Structure 1
Amino acid sequence: MGRFIEEQLQQVLRLQVRLYACRERLLAATDPEALHDLRIALRKLRSLLQPLRGVPACAALQQQAAELGRSSGPLRDLEVLIAHLHRQGRHDAVNLRQPRLLAGYAALLAGAELPALFEALDQWPQLWRQAADAELRGLAKRVRRRLAKQQRRLAEALVDPAHDRHRLRLLIKRVRYGAEAYPKLSGLTAKTQARLKVAQAALGDWHDLLQWLQRAEQEADLAMCVTPWRTALQAAEAAADQALLALQEDFISV
């Protein structure tokens, strides 16, 4: 196998070990960061795999990683809300949601997505090695082209006067995580990556507040939070727009 192909194999194996460790932490039910760290490892795995779309050896692993990402997302959203409510001293609201969170952990551990992902991870190294000669020739060039295409999409969205913050958030995450997964191929400077991180965080704050306000329409005990959340949403929108404006400078020539 070529060096680049071997590097991707080693990265996936390291992430597999991290994912196993996160599952054990979830099973122990004593670590409030276990789900967060599991999703970080999963995000890194998906970022490695995303530019490899079309490689048959990666298809099953990509599918299982995506399914676990979708199924664990709402649970992480609940974690973030509960942490926020705790910081605000809204203990009744926290206590009301804590059993739902614990039940969500149990459901995730008992569900089909985690075992399916680990089965795909176990099978993947052999599939990857078997594919090395035929399917993976010129892979580094393909990955570089796909990363560049992601960056062009972001550049176009940043200058669109009718830009959608939801879409920009997803594009920024994809470009940022792609650069982290393939730092030698992305062509992005440390300054640009730092600006991507700032913009993603600002859009993340905005997205969380928007979600919480939508929840408050259905969950009556959150009504007391609506006014401060609306005020915070306005500030988050301004911060996000400022971060996006700064980011335009880095992508204006992409």
Structure 2
Amino acid sequence: MPQSLKKLLALEIAHRIDAMRTCRKRALRGEDAESLHNLRVALRRLRSLTRPLQPLLTPRIRRIERRLKRLVQDTNALRDAEVHQQWLSRLAPDLPPPSPRRKDAARLSRALKSGRLKRDLNLLRERLPRQLAKTPKFALTRLLAGGCDAAQIELAHALSRSGFDDAVPQDLHNSRLLTKRVRYQAESYAVLLGDSRLALLATPCRELQDALGDLRDLEACAASLPQAEQKRAAARVRQARAECRERARLAWQDMHDRLAPTPLED
């Protein structure tokens, strides 16, 4: 394991918090269409980075973690509206766009402007490296590796409970969330831990996450179409569904095979 694990992890935490600050400013300014997406990614990457560190966190930092989780939830409605419009333009291009979600946008803006969020990010950047410095290196390494292993095991179980074709929507949703967690941990911790196997999971995780996300968003958009429009859009929906399901099926099987234990691990 790298001798400078604590220092590298502290730098990674600082990098994630700085990225979160930058994305917060861009989202408030509404600079581009990707600002909301980038904010959500920055939030999830920061939370995925700290998730394996939970046993080390003080009650105060855990409260900050919960507030960051609520901030992610505050972005959900706006993100869903953005993706819904993208699918709507493909499935039913003649329909007018839905009304802007002004209340959701105002609530998110208030949360991003709050002094509490600024203080929370400052405190995380200051206090978390201090706690890492107090932790023995072998214990920190074991904690991080154990957290990453646990996420992979949970995802492997989710993919093994049923094949893709037999999975119900809730199974697909849960598998997507678990895949996202493993992906962000792979991107954050593979290099720090010197784990080449974990590093190889980042790209297939992203492919499965994207495929399951597209399928979920397609089904939500198709279900929201007015009855008359559903008939006109039926052929486009069938084609899009077939494409999404095939991508997801292949990515699901690939990830299942990658996480399957080798004979020596049985």
Fold equivalence (TM over 0.5): yes
In structure 1, the residue matched to 2:185 is 178
Deviation of 1:78 after TM superposition, in Å, equals: 0.8
TM-score normalised to structure 1 length: 0.83
Separation in 2, partners of 1:224, 1:122: 53
- The residue correspondences of 1:138-177 to structure 2 (distance < 5 A) are 138-161=139-162, 163=167, 164-177=171-184
In structure 2, the residue matched to 1:70 is 73
Separation in 2, partners of 1:225, 1:46: 43
8 A contact 1:23–1:38 mirrored in 2: yes
Separation in 2, partners of 1:22, 1:192: 26
CA, structure 1 residues 104+124, in 2 after alignment: closer, same or farther (shift >3 Å)?
Answer: same
Alignment of 1:81 onto 2:87: no
Q: Percent identity?
A: 26
8 A contact 1:179–1:188 mirrored in 2: no
8 A contact 1:85–1:91 mirrored in 2: no
Alignment of 1:193 onto 2:202: yes
In structure 2, the residue matched to 1:60 is 63
Deviation of 1:69 after TM superposition, in Å, equals: 0.9
Separation in 1, partners of 2:119, 2:134: 24
Separation in 2, partners of 1:208, 1:47: 23
8 A contact 1:19–1:42 mirrored in 2: yes
Segment of structure 1 superposing worse, 194-203 or 174-183: 194-203
Deviation of 1:12 after TM superposition, in Å, equals: 2.5
Alignment of 1:247 onto 2:255: yes
TM-score normalised to structure 2 length: 0.79
2:253 is aligned with what amino acid?
L
In structure 2, the residue matched to 1:203 is 212
Deviation of 1:107 after TM superposition, in Å, equals: 2.4
Deviation of 1:64 after TM superposition, in Å, equals: 2.0
CA, structure 1 residues 88+211, in 2 after alignment: closer, same or farther (shift >3 Å)?
Answer: closer
Structure 1 residue runs of 4 or more that deviate by more than 6 Å after TM superposition: 219-222
8 A contact 1:172–1:196 mirrored in 2: yes
8 A contact 2:186–2:201 mirrored in 1: no
Separation in 1, partners of 2:32, 2:227: 30
8 A contact 2:13–2:46 mirrored in 1: yes
2:237 is aligned with what amino acid?
W
8 A contact 1:173–1:200 mirrored in 2: yes
Separation in 2, partners of 1:245, 1:233: 18
Asked which structure has the greater RCO (Cα within 8 Å, sep 6+), the reply is 2
In structure 2, the residue matched to 1:106 is 106
* 2:161 counterpart SS class: coil
1:63 is aligned with what amino acid?
R
Deviation of 1:145 after TM superposition, in Å, equals: 0.9
* 1:183 counterpart SS class: helix
CA, structure 1 residues 150+91, in 2 after alignment: closer, same or farther (shift >3 Å)?
Answer: same
In structure 2, the residue matched to 1:237 is 245
* 2:79 counterpart SS class: helix
In structure 1, the residue matched to 2:49 is 48
1:177 is aligned with what amino acid?
Y
2:207 is aligned with what amino acid?
V
2:50 is aligned with what amino acid?
L
8 A contact 1:206–1:233 mirrored in 2: yes
Separation in 1, partners of 2:86, 2:136: 44
RMSD value over aligned CA atoms? 2.9
Q: How many residues are treated as equivalent by the alignment?
A: 248
Unmatched segments (≥5 aa) in structure 1: none
